[in-house]
Structure 1
Amino acid sequence: MKNLNSLTLTALFFSLIFITSCKSNNTDLITPETKTEISASTLSQIKALGFSVTSARKVEGGYLVENDILLTEENLSDASSSPNLNIAETEQYRTTNVVKSLPRVITVSVTNLPQVYSDAVNTMISRYNSLGLRITFQRASGSAKGSIDVVGFNEGPSGGYITLGSAGFPTSSGNPFNQIRMNTNSAAYGSNPNLLYLASVLQHEVGHCIGFRHTDYMNRAYSCGGAASNEGASNVGAVRIPGTPSTADAESFMLACSNGGNRTFNSNDVIAVNYLYK
């Protein structure tokens, strides 16, 4: 499969697509992030959890690994005794922590982002709710902050890739991760973001919030290109979901890197989501 993009899309690809773009209305929403060095002890904790420390960086709220997964301080200190998967193919995987207290309504809010992001959240909600799960999603009322709040950050390409969005995993108490961060830099989605593309990225990040890992976590090169890279089994869990295939799954919504277009649930994704939440 070609190196098609990113929850991390190649900067070169975007420089060609958006070379005529002027300034983006999104870029002045949030100032660029400040990156800081990560201590050796923290890197050891990240590695002990099974995540690659390559390109790991300190961001607001924790540490960004695998380009779109936020590990909180709680994740680093909360070791799991549940089984982890050490050898993998390309099945769907969940973390040890999943959303509990089902059936459950998860509210979603959007803070300080253009209307297209809000519209994309509504599309994402419709996609999940159409599956008839024991978790359903709805917009938070008025200005209230939802169980998941979608916010912006502004960060340009780095190392040939750009992060489109990021999220974390459910808490040990069974709550979904409470924030999705979407990149407002014009190099991420251009000056006129595509609704379905944004909805697809949001759908992927919500997948992390409710406990899904990357379908190709054992070899990110499958969707991202480049050298083979195993994200690791991790003490936060890389538990194979029964009934999902052990062969390549080129259209899964939880692939590590985006194809730059509209990617929603395929049949194997539906099996995976139903297994956890039907």
Structure 2
Amino acid sequence: MRKHFLFFALAACVGTLSCKKQDVSTTAPASEISSVTLGKIKSLGFSTSGVVKTDAGYLVEGDITLTDELLNSNNNQQLLRIAETEQYRTTNLVSAPRTIKIKVSNLGTAYVSGTDLAISRYNALGLTLTFTRITSGTADITIKGFNQGPSGGYITLGSSGFPSGGKPYGTIQMNTNSQAYGSNPDVNYVGSVIQHELGHCIGFRHTDYMNRSYSCGGAATNEGASNIGAILIPGTPSGPDANSWMLACSNGGNRTFNANDKVALQYLY
């Protein structure tokens, strides 16, 4: 998830922060990424604008990690569509029923409390997926820190990826740079971003993928559905879907599931 940096000052922040910083010097710009790889990214229906090579794969759309495994797969992916601002998912879903164990690694109390908040919001829906935070043992998802300042008018708040083999994506990275959440991160703000990244981990794409300007501002962008189909979720509105938890860019505050998000989650899980 990203945030338009020009609006950063609007965020109110409270709490404490203590984190382990991660070196981000291992990333490479799109100019160093082959045309073949960019073609694979586009064929899956993702934007090739601003792609960044990382140790885990390729960061697209600001916060989604595409692994080499996913890029080289032949999945017949589908989308769940809600009105003109759509709720998307890949066919890479998590096998359910399942309890997903989450561990917070070397991050401060705001991130731990934010994780608990996100978990409580998912569990309140009564899904076939149950989330729990652990402090020892093997986790299904580990939440780690990285430190990266703003670039191009935006700052990355967190990133994650999509499920594979029936398992959730295993890592959520949260930005510990003070220009992301401030020096005293607000638990509701941090928890809302973790909630968003967990959505990717269980198979959801950005709600405003077809027009990212809906939440990010700037020029309207529409990458097209490529070779990906669409499934309409019955009972959803015919107009844009405001305040979805899976909008591409943060509003700088507390954002949770709206009514259509709950429909999409309960449709899948």
- Equivalent position of 1:90 in the other structure: 85
- TM norm structure 2: 0.90
Q: Do 2:244 and 2:257's aligned partners in 1 also have CA atoms closer than 8 Å?
A: yes
Any residues of structure 2 matched to 1:188-227 within 5 Å, and which? 188-227=180-219
Distance 1:246 1:174 in 2: 32
- Equivalent position of 2:161 in the other structure: 168
Distance 2:61 2:250 in 1: 13
| SS across alignment from 1:91 | coil
Task: Report percent identity of matched pairs.
Answer: 59
1:240 to partner: Cα distance: 4.3
- Equivalent position of 2:245 in the other structure: 253
- TM norm structure 1: 0.87
Q: Which one-letter code corresponds to 1:158 in the other structure?
A: S
CA distances 1:53-105 after superposition (whole Å, capped 9, x unpaired): 100111120100000111001110012224568997213221111111x2110
Q: Which one-letter code corresponds to 1:159 in the other structure?
A: G
CA distances 1:124-143 after superposition (whole Å, capped 9, x unpaired): 11000011111100012x33
- Equivalent position of 1:266 in the other structure: 258
Distance 1:120 1:85 in 2: 28
> Are residues 26 and 9 of structure 1, via their aligned partners in 2, closer, same or farther at CA, if it must alter by over 3 Å?
farther
CA distances 1:206-241 after superposition (whole Å, capped 9, x unpaired): 011111111111100111100111244366776544
> Are residues 69 and 75 of structure 1, via their aligned partners in 2, closer, same or farther at CA, if it must alter by over 3 Å?
same
Please state if 1:13 is matched with 2:11: no
Please state if 1:156 is matched with 2:134: no
- Equivalent position of 1:64 in the other structure: 59
66-75 or 234-243, larger mean C-alpha shift: 234-243
Unaligned runs of 5+ in 1: 1-6
- Equivalent position of 2:221 in the other structure: 229
How many residues align? The count is: 263
- Equivalent position of 1:243 in the other structure: 235
> Are residues 256 and 79 of structure 1, via their aligned partners in 2, closer, same or farther at CA, if it must alter by over 3 Å?
same
Distance 2:178 2:3 in 1: 13
Unaligned runs of 5+ in 2: none
Distance 1:126 1:27 in 2: 23
Please state if 1:107 is matched with 2:107: no
- Equivalent position of 2:74 in the other structure: 79
Distance 2:202 2:231 in 1: 14
Over aligned residues, Cα RMSD in angstroms?
A: 2.5
